[in-house]
Amino acid sequence: MNRFTELYWRLDGTTSISEKVAALRDYFADAPAADAVAALAVLSGGRQLRSISTSQLREWAAEATGHPAWLVEECYAHVGDLAETLALLLPDPETPADAGAPPQEDVGLAEVMQTTIHDLRVADDARKREVVTAVWRRLAPRERIVWHKLLTGGLRVGVSRTLVARALAEVAGVDQAEMAHRMMGVPPADGPAFTRLLSPENTTTDSRRPYPFFLASGLDRTLVEYVAEDLGDVAEWQAEWKWDGMRAQLVRRGDDATVWSRGEELVNDAFPEIAAAGAALPPGTVLDGELLAVAGGRLLGFAALSKRASRKKVTKKILDEVPCLFVAYDILEEGGTDLRDRPLAERRCRLEALVPTLFSDVLSGTAPANAGRIFLSPLVAGHSWTDLALRRGESRARGVEGLMLKRQASPYAVGRTRGDWWKWKVEPLEIDAVILYAQAGHGRRAGLHSDYTLGLWHDGKLVTVAKAYSGLTDAEIVEIDRIVRATTIEKHGPVRICTPMLVMQLAFEGVSLSTRHKSGVAVRFPRIVRWRRDKEPADAGTLTDLKRMIAADG
């Protein structure tokens, strides 16, 4: 645990990419394989599971310190990080001399993860409390902070999967792209698997493993002349619709096919009909594309698709209600040959030969009855940037998010490599809303109320419709914090109910009906555009205004 704690603080103490890579390289070069596997699972973006609720930790810490619960809450609101708050409040750890015992050997990360984190997920509350208080007595504050973050599934330390791959590539002495590919899919489960990951020789890639995804960068320019200035001759580019679905790779190697999400999760169970369709592809084929929910020639959108995305078992009812297709827009492997270094124009020709039926035929009702579930993403024609801008203006009516622009000469890169793939999204929907609740932030915004719940008018009352955490300057947040504190009506822990008086211009990507929200409406990716100082709460929008946007959103 000492070695991983030092790694955490080295990473936390720098913004330098080279210093972060050096810290990772030093750790993975020296750590026991079992500890390295545990660290890799945490650092490479895998889902972390919570073993203890934060409310239990606060309650037990209050009892261990003798402080009242309200004081622990106030300290948390001021510090902004629960792991650090508890580590600072707790008594100093017992030394071996205090306990009358010989010095303790350091416990490795793998053992710590197993005995004090994973095993606790199925333990009763009495056992959880026993283990937690015992660890508190043993660990120093710096170690406690790291352990608390692991315990609650919230360890984030500012490193990307790309940086981890770069460090491991240096340790292994292989190309970074090769290491990134080795890391895709199911992570190493034990020490021998980690040792194979670091082999200096090219390994036989797991037949089920996808390739690292190539991610597009956002194109913020909205005026056509600026787009042309950035990208040059339109003839050098390929345009496609940006589908409102779930990015995925369909891998056909060996005896079966696998479907992988962009988050590197195997989703065969959630999309069994896509996996079955993929099994009919020629062996040695990997397609990149989008999982879409489509019924009756109509796109159902991401909200419908999300009903299936996280399921381990899909019922017949869900299969019937949310039928899905795979729309391919790139081919990464053909006949077992890696095509990623080939230009996009060539890959597109190969894809068209393999998947001849256009998805647009599905939407128009002209696709053959036996076309299956794998379709070709259609290109969007445009002889000029003005043409493409006009086509982009059709996005909401078509139920898509805008256009994808891809340089025809581009290879299929790893990660977010700027310059060759761009997403030119449609302008967001906007409405003016009123701040109803404010919550204290975390990290550098600790002690400031920077997280807001906003509402719209309905039948003479303000009803909550969204939460937003970004879009204001630091100076505006400080000013709003003063107003929130001065106009607080009620306080519930870190949340304050305040007098409705602050109007914000709220932007979002989409809006849909929802049974999960009291307002009956859900907005997608809400964020604050600006503080409407020129408006009173009475000038804010209504729930009816928001619902009208559902039709406009396609």
Residue that terminates a domain, selected from 393, 425, 457: 425
Residue that terminates a domain, selected from 396, 425, 454: 425
User: Domain tally for the chain?
Assistant: 3
Strand, helix or coil at 21? helix
The reply to whether 172 falls in a domain is no
Token pair recorded at residue 135: 């660890």
> Mean pLDDT throughout 245-250?
95
**CA proximity to 403, closest of 219, 214, 233:** 219
Q: Are residues 251 and 319 in the same domain?
A: yes
Q: Are residues 396 and 377 in the same domain?
A: yes
Token pair recorded at residue 26: 């030093």
> Mean pLDDT throughout 215-242?
85
Task: Estimate the share of the chain in helix, then strand, then coil, as percent rounded to the nearest 5.
Answer: 40, 25, 35
Q: Are residues 238 and 360 in the same domain?
A: yes
**CA proximity to 40, closest of 84, 72, 7, 13:** 7
Per-residue model confidence as pLDDT tens digits over 311-331: 778 888 989 899 999 999 999
pLDDT at 401 over 80: yes
Predicted local confidence at residue 203, as pLDDT: 60
Beta carbons within 10 angstroms of residue 182's beta carbon: 24
Residue that terminates a domain, selected from 402, 425, 448: 425
Q: Are residues 280 and 415 in the same domain?
A: yes
* HSE-CB of 395 using CA atoms within 13 angstroms: 24
Predicted local confidence at residue 282, as pLDDT: 95
Q: Where are the beta strands (DSSP E) in 142-245?
A: 217-218, 237-241
pLDDT at 101 over 70: no
Query: 447: exposed, middle or buried (C-beta count within 10 Å: 0-12, 13-18, 19+)?
Result: middle
Q: Are residues 382 and 440 in the same domain?
A: no
The reply to whether 163 falls in a domain is no
The reply to whether 161 falls in a domain is no
Q: Are residues 388 and 504 in the same domain?
A: no
Cβ proximity of 489 and 521 under 8 Å: no
Cβ proximity of 166 and 20 under 8 Å: no
The reply to whether 81 falls in a domain is yes
- What mean pLDDT is reported for the chain? 87
**Ramachandran sector of residue 158 (left: φ over 0; alpha: ψ -120 to 50; beta: rest):** left
The reply to whether 297 falls in a domain is yes
pLDDT at 96 over 60: no
pLDDT at 100 over 60: no
**Report for 226-240, 262-276, 530-544: range of highest mean pLDDT:** 530-544
> Mean pLDDT throughout 227-250?
91
Q: Indicate the residue type of 422.
A: W
Cβ proximity of 509 and 401 under 8 Å: yes
Token pair recorded at residue 260: 């992988």
Token pair recorded at residue 417: 């490599």
pLDDT at 496 over 60: yes
pLDDT at 442 over 80: no
- Report the distance separating Cα 470 and Cα 473, nearest Å: 9
Confidence tier at 206 by pLDDT (50, 70, 90): low
The reply to whether 211 falls in a domain is no
- Report the distance separating Cα 105 and Cα 179, nearest Å: 34
pTM, rounded to two decimals: 0.71
**Domain CATH code at residue 522:** 2.40.50.140
Q: Are residues 265 and 340 in the same domain?
A: yes
pLDDT at 445 over 70: no
- Report the distance separating Cα 554 and Cα 280, nearest Å: 33
Beta carbons within 10 angstroms of residue 445's beta carbon: 17
The reply to whether 183 falls in a domain is no
- Report the distance separating Cα 384 and Cα 230, nearest Å: 14
pLDDT at 369 over 70: yes
pLDDT at 251 over 90: yes
Q: Which domain holds residue 20?
A: 2-151
Q: Are residues 231 and 351 in the same domain?
A: yes
Q: Are residues 253 and 362 in the same domain?
A: yes
Which ranges of 95-140 would DSSP assign to H, the alpha helix? 96-99, 109-113, 125-138
Q: Are residues 344 and 419 in the same domain?
A: yes
**316-320-325 Cα angle (round to 5):** 110
Predicted local confidence at residue 202, as pLDDT: 65
pLDDT at 47 over 80: no
**Domain CATH code at residue 239:** 3.30.470.30
In the beta sheet, which residues pair with residue 218?
A: 423
The reply to whether 243 falls in a domain is yes
Q: Are residues 438 and 380 in the same domain?
A: no
Q: Are residues 90 and 45 in the same domain?
A: yes
Predicted local confidence at residue 122, as pLDDT: 86
